[in-house]
Amino acid sequence: MSALEFAVKKTRETLQIYWELVRIIVPVTIVTEVMSRIGLIEAISPALAPVMELFGLPPELGLAWLTGMLVGLWGAIPMIFTLVPASSLTVADITVFSALLLFAHGLPIEQKIIQKAGPGFAVTTLIRVAGSILYAIMLHHLLAATGWLSETLDPAWIPKTASADWMGFLTGLMEALVFMLVILTALAWGLEILKLSGLMALLMKILAPLLRLAGIDAETGQFTAVGLFLGISYGGGLLIREARSGKVSPRQVFISCIFMGFAHSIIEDTLIVMALGADAVGVLVGRIVFAISATALIAYLIRSIPDQSFFGWAFRRADCNTAAGG
């Protein structure tokens, strides 16, 4: 294959992945924005107020939590200090709340991408939300028992609440899609360069022990690593192609998606919540340790389930087969 043919093939593959993501992101983002603007999210959020007590957090933050789960980090973060003054929160509070957001945010979009890779939407979403709740409860009780991070919050950054009209929203969406195409193209070519130079093999050799602890093999390791550092949109987007090619086992795809759900975009997202005052150990180190441990436990629990039984409820093989033929 000539260099030109290879470039055309790689570009075509990248555009196919990008189109898959656009078909998910655009309608889900618009529907979620409509729900937010008509007050549906705000109307539902009071039901979450009692749940916030499990994390030792003010009930008002229930609205920000629900918004984060549906809209994403940038939907929830500007609301935090509007709902609750920074002076009434501790570093422990913002660390626990940030952990909730980091584990489970933008679920309609991100879980739809996961579903396209194969695993069922409902199963992986429940596991991801359950993981966020469990980790936040554990973190809250640890901090409450030790008194660690009990000092009053003094954030380095207090974001402003966005007030864009529909034109501003659509413009922002278009800008985000263009940026995603640029990143996805650079990522696809970057991965090829890393493979050809041997750096990918070196990187995976370094990460392999960490991922192996979580039950992730080499066949999905590089895509899991992409998700870990850059986010589900990119790691999951690449995994969609590999899952459809049949080069990786469905069980490994499932485990990889579970891990990415717990730990993804660990650089950008972590820096954002640290600017709000969250502690790095709680939102980064603890999160990764939990992700490895919880994914390893899930991998262990499902190892004895026959493929036919397991994928009947946890994996949407029909989606992959249909997509592969379409």
Q: How far apart are CA 20 and CA 234, in angstroms?
A: 11
User: Which residues are within 8 A (CB) of 180 and not within 5 positions of it... i.e. 6 or more apart?
Assistant: 18, 21, 25, 233
d(CA 40, CA 170): 20
What distance in Å separates the CA atoms of residue 110 and residue 38, rounded to the nearest whole number? 23
Residue 321, pLDDT score = 42
Distance separating alpha carbons of residues 185 and 187, to the nearest angstrom = 5
pLDDT of the residue at 303: 83
Q: Whole-prediction pTM value?
A: 0.84
For the chain, state the CA radius of gyration.
20
Let me know: does 276 contact 94? Beta carbons within 8 Å.
yes
Q: Name the DSSP letter for residue 158.
A: -
Q: Which ranges of the chain have pLDDT less than 50?
A: 317-326
Does residue 46 contact residue 65 with C-beta atoms inside 8 Å?
Answer: no
Q: Phi first, then psi: what are they for 90, rounded to 5°?
A: -105, 170
Q: Which helix (H) or strand (E) holds 117?
A: helix 107-117
CA 202, chain centre distance (Å): 25
Q: Among 124, 100, 104, 87, which residue's Cα sits nearest to residue 52?
A: 100
pLDDT digits (tens, 9 = 90+) for 111-164: 999 998 888 899 999 999 999 999 999 999 999 999 999 999 999 988 866 556
What's the pLDDT score for residue 326? 31
- pLDDT of 111 reads 94
